[in-house]
Chains A and B, each alone.
Chain A
Amino acid sequence: MRAVLTVIGKDKVGIVAGVSQSLAVLNINIVDITQTIMQDYFTMMMILEMNGQSNFDYIRQELDKTGQQLGIKISIQNEEIFNAMHKLG
């Protein structure tokens, strides 16, 4: 299953490192990253491959912790929801 992870928060040193580190610990592979600064706000999006990782609750809790430490908002969702909403077929 693929998931989309988004990060929004005030820009500062170590956000990419912190998030990638958490994902590595959770054994989640990053397939794609895009990142930009929108009016002072650091905005990052990752496409993740969740092979063999099925405990979504746990993953979400861990990422929440990371988010709190870094002072950013991390959300993670199954990729299908975006496809369902915006693509036909």
Chain B
Amino acid sequence: METNQIFETIRMIEEDNLDIRTITMGISLLDCIDADVDKACEKIYQKITRCAKDLVSVGDQIATEYGIPIINKRISVTPIAAVASAAKATSEECIKYAQVLDQAAKTVGVNFIGGYSALVEKGFQGSDLALIESIPEALATTDFVCSSVNIGSTKAGINMDAVKNMGTVIKETAEKSDLGCAKLVVFANAVEDNPFMAGAFHGFGEADTIINVGISGPGVMKRALEKVKGETFDVVAETVKKTAFKITRMGQLVGQEASKRLDIPFGIVDLSLAPTPAVGDSVAQILEEMGLGSVGTHGTIAALALLNDAVKKGGVMACNHVGGLSGAFIPVSEDAGMIEAVENGFLNLEKLEAMTAICSVGLDMIAIAGDTPAESISAMIADEAAIGVVNHKTTAVRIIPAKNKKVGDHVEFGGLLGSAPVMETNEASSADFIQRGGRIPAPLHSFKN
């Protein structure tokens, strides 16, 4: 083995914050369905604590043995709205499911449990509406439960009734708890094997239990690009590809090892550059390294497009199965470079929307003024969903109306969630638009241009 390769790996981990963002165990709860809510909850608790009892210890073992930090161990479960349907659960009863998920998460010691979810892109069935209505209370009364609602897809169009509901739900969630909105994602084209919270759930097409891995590594990418300063974009793309390959190999190794030790099949590696609020672990700074004065300025979209694509190209060869959201995440509050760009006035909501047309997820971890009307939030969701639905990609909104705060104020979330400046939104009303409800039809794609 080459000495310099060994030192390269060690440097990546110790100096450039290379880590595995998450090992997520997907657990199907379809076999826990029961017409009696309490019985269902008991079965859910039993199944999660049985399947995931060793998840945290195995994760920690792998982290020490390989010397690579594994930041989160998480669980994703079957969308609870489906489980709750059998009991025709009311919104009060839905809370019980949230609470049992929270208890199970605490028992096994994971960081988050995702799947308090409903998939309503085409319409509501069973307990979908009850679950959606219960989200504010569910997120306020639990610590680790994450929730998501899929309101649109390229095949089905956009469920504007759900979009309308979610505006109100987000407002209520913000009223009830400070961190609730950080645990709530509204999706279009949600994927079933996403290991990243808050949007993770265990899809119906998945195996009974599965291990998915999400990688991180923006610091390593930035360091690699520092070495090719001034070179052409051919060189930049090549550098990103090669670095993504190396990062992803690590994800593949960790995933395989976890799958072997837990005796659970290995699902996918999510090839994602996911930032943390730590200095030197920022996706925004990678873009700036390409030559932008600040993320958000002219050229940002082109830089992000290159980055996103090259990460996938490099990563695909490095692992067996790629999935999830794969790409570059640009949450505002979790990325030191993004926060700075907003504070300096170089990055606004409109540019973020444009960026989401080509990257993973969408308007992510963005704080807005607490008095923003619910309809405006719904309209932001509709805009993001339209980008996803028309462009065959996943988009999401995780937006945080900050109680009693105005544009320019600052909100602290703490930990991996970071902090965010309150951003300016458009003040013109979207109320009549959102009040219409109904469904925006699926786009026509046979005359694509």
Contacts and interface: CB of A to CB of B under 8 A. Distances in A.
Contacts of B5: 82, 85-86
Contacts of B67: 75-78, 81
Interface in B1-58: 1-3, 5-10, 14
A13 B273 CA distance: 43
A34 B66 CA distance: 21
Given A85-B246, A85-B249, A86-B246, A56 B7 contact: no
A78 B261 CA distance: 15
Contact of A56 (B2, B64, B253): B64
A69 interface: no
B10 A6 contact: yes
Interface residues of A, number: 20
Contacts of B249: 84-85
Given A77-B67, A81-B66, A6 B61 contact: no
Interface in A9-48: 34, 45, 47
A45 B72 CA distance: 30
Given A4-B6, A86-B5, A81 B64 contact: no
A5 to B, nearest CB: 10
B161 to A, nearest CB: 48
A61 B445 CA distance: 59
Given A56-B61, A85-B246, A45 B3 contact: yes
B221 interface: no
A60 B64 contact: yes
Interface in B61-78: 61, 64-68
Contacts of A6: 6-7, 10
Contacts of A60: 64
Interface of A: 4, 6, 34, 45, 47, 56-57, 60, 75-86
17 contacts: A34-B3, A56-B64, A60-B64, A75-B14, A77-B66, A78-B66, A81-B68, A81-B250, A84-B250, A84-B252, A85-B246, A85-B249, A85-B250, A86-B5, A86-B8, A86-B9, A86-B246
Given A75-B14, A81-B66, 13 more contacts: A4-B6, A56-B61, A77-B65, A77-B68, A78-B66, A79-B1, A82-B5, A84-B250, A84-B253, A85-B5, A85-B249, A86-B9, A86-B246
